[in-house]
């Protein structure tokens, strides 16, 4: 094996490692903040994805999700939360508030109307 090949393998491995960490390693995870009224609230930026895309919320406490849509891309026109039977239009460049009450612990996905953008609501006891 030549030094070139070894260098290529080492660099390739580093790149793969970096890409793996980049895409799977650090998923933004945000605990919904509890307001004075006792509601949990989190603002989710919508622009080519959801940020944060993992929201941690407490069971049996009302949860207010404020979707702040910062784009007009039709992909994110709608948001669907199957666990909560919610399907809501998100007007471009506006904030849309969705209130739900998590009734059971678990990880519940939400997505755009085409199921291309994904997020998760993690409900804990």
Residue numbers of the site for Cu ion (CB under 5 A)? 75, 112, 114, 116
Q: C-beta of 121: minimal distance to Cu ion in Å? A: 18
**CB closer to Cu ion, 66 vs 75:** 75
CA pair distance 72, 34, nearest whole angstrom: 30
Q: C-beta of 78: minimal distance to Cu ion in Å? A: 8
**CB closer to Cu ion, 49 vs 62:** 49
**CB closer to Cu ion, 21 vs 116:** 116
Beta strands in 1-125 (DSSP E): 29-31, 33-34, 40-46, 50-51, 54-58, 63-69, 78-81, 86-89, 95-100, 106-112, 118-124
Q: C-beta of 15: minimal distance to Cu ion in Å? A: 29
**CB closer to Cu ion, 50 vs 84:** 50
Q: What is the dihedral of CA 56, 16, 118, 30, to 10 degrees?
A: 20
Q: C-beta of 79: minimal distance to Cu ion in Å? A: 10
CA pair distance 90, 82, nearest whole angstrom: 16
């Amino acid at each position: 094996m030549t030094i070139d090949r070894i260098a290529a393998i080492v660099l390739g491995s580093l790149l793969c490692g970096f890409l793996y960490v980049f895409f799977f390693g650090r998923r933004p995870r945000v605990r919904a903040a509890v307001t004075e009224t006792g509601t949990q609230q989190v603002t989710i930026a919508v622009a080519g994805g959801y940020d944060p895309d993992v929201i941690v919320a407490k069971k049996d406490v009302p949860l207010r999700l404020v979707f702040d849509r910062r784009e007009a891309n039709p992909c994110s026109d709608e948001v669907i939360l199957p666990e909560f039977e919610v399907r809501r239009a998100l007007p471009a460049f506006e904030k849309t508030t969705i209130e739900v009450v998590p009734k059971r612990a678990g990880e519940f996905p939400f997505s755009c109307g085409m199921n291309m953008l994904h997020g998760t609501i993690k409900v804990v006891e």
